[in-house]
Amino acid sequence: MSVRSLLLLIVAVPALLLGGAAALGMTIPVPEWGRDYVLRFALDPQDAPLDLPEIEGPDDPTRPLVVIDAGHGGRDPGSVAGEEGGAQVLEKDIVLSLALALRDELLAEGGIRVALTRDDDRIIVLADRPQIARQLGADLFLSVHADSAGDRRDVGGASIYTLSNEASSEAAARFAERENAADRLNGITIEGQSEEVSNILVELSQQRTQEDATDFASLIAREGQGRIRFHPQPRRSAELAVLRAPDVPGVLFESGFVTNDADRSRLMTEEGRAEYAAVLARAIRVYFARRAEP
């Protein structure tokens, strides 16, 4: 396929899918649209159904749903730092408190549905975390962590991670492969020689998801300005398994360094956590407001 026809297809895909899909040899029995023209991928029936957490907030499925993921848990403590006096500070505890504070903040203001991947000290397999978001039909995913810099106690500040483009394309390719093997793409039956088309659809969907994730990351940076201390290079991208959902935009927020005194004391006090929660809640609200129907 030439670059030109690829570009044409990218521009034309939403219209084609809604209108002239037959021209491409596709039949669309039950198209299921997620945000905008991002496809909701069919969940693999072979994936074990997860023990899904409760959705809190308004009992209205049209309200946006954010899944907050407190990193680590159970026998996985995450980053560990020694507090003066000998007590150990564990990332899994800090991020759980922060996730709970954020949930409470969002629920108090209302209008947004919230689910936590964990609300107690339990371990959840990495791959299950975005899967929980997908199975709940979440609109946004936020994984909360805290970093460690080992002996470098001067290193501090929050960072915001999105999935690297490379990893994003890889994830899209893997999904495309799987969906092609099953000869279906979210209820869209693809017939004949349209493997290219389905690959492009998956790629498009992942790109759109990435754009949304990047927008959310920018909002956290914007809302946090002057309120949260950020790392000198706060915006990062990496190959993070927890952000690999193809149809749920996700951001990983490193709230600070447990090995940094200033960060730790902020993260371990209620006032400090309230500041983080207010910033993140505001970023989530603005994100959804930008995508609300006019």
Torsion of CA 74, 129, 242, 264, to 10 degrees: -40
Contact 284, 66 (CB under 8 A): yes
Q: Tell me the closest approach of the beta carbon of residue 211 to Zn ion, in angstroms.
A: 25
Q: Tell me the closest approach of the beta carbon of residue 38 to Zn ion, in angstroms.
A: 28
Which is nearest to 217 in space by CA: 143, 157, 122, 269? 143
| Complete edge-to-edge strand list for the sheet that includes strand 158-163 | 113-116, 65-70, 140-147, 250-257, 158-163, 230-238
Asked whether position 73 contacts Zn ion by CB under 5 A, the answer is no
Burial class (CB in 10 A: 0-12, 13-18, 19+), 262: middle
Of 116 and 201, the one with the shorter C-beta distance to Zn ion is 116
Q: Tell me the closest approach of the beta carbon of residue 278 to Zn ion, in angstroms.
A: 22
**Coil, strand or helix at 30:** coil
Integer Cα distance of 266 and 102 in angstroms: 15
How far, rounded to the nearest angstrom, does the alpha carbon of residue 13 sit from its chain's CA centroid?
A: 25
Region binding Zn ion by CB under 5 A among candidate stretches 11-19, 69-77, 105-113, 156-164? 69-77
Strand locations in 84-216 (E) = 88-90, 113-116, 140-147, 158-163, 184-185, 188-190
**Site map 118..147 versus Zn ion, x via CB under 5 A:** ---------------------------x--
**Coil, strand or helix at 9:** helix
**Site map 145..184 versus Zn ion, x via CB under 5 A:** x---------------------------------------
Region binding Zn ion by CB under 5 A among candidate stretches 70-78, 129-137, 186-194, 224-232? 70-78
Region binding Zn ion by CB under 5 A among candidate stretches 36-44, 66-74, 130-138, 194-202? 66-74
Which residue's C-beta sits nearest to Zn ion?
A: 145
Of 161 and 288, the one with the shorter C-beta distance to Zn ion is 161
Asked whether position 78 contacts Zn ion by CB under 5 A, the answer is yes
Integer Cα distance of 103 and 120 in angstroms: 13
**How many residues belong to the site for Zn ion (CB under 5 A)?**
3
Of 17 and 98, the one with the shorter C-beta distance to Zn ion is 98
Helix/strand/coil percentages in the chain, nearest 5 = 45, 20, 35
Asked whether position 71 contacts Zn ion by CB under 5 A, the answer is yes
Q: Tell me the closest approach of the beta carbon of residue 255 to Zn ion, in angstroms.
A: 10
Of 70 and 188, the one with the shorter C-beta distance to Zn ion is 70
Of 17 and 240, the one with the shorter C-beta distance to Zn ion is 240
Characterize the bridge pairing of strands 65-70 and 140-147: parallel
Q: Tell me the closest approach of the beta carbon of residue 98 to Zn ion, in angstroms.
A: 12
Of 99 and 197, the one with the shorter C-beta distance to Zn ion is 99
Write out the residues near Zn ion by the rule CB under 5 A: 71, 78, 145
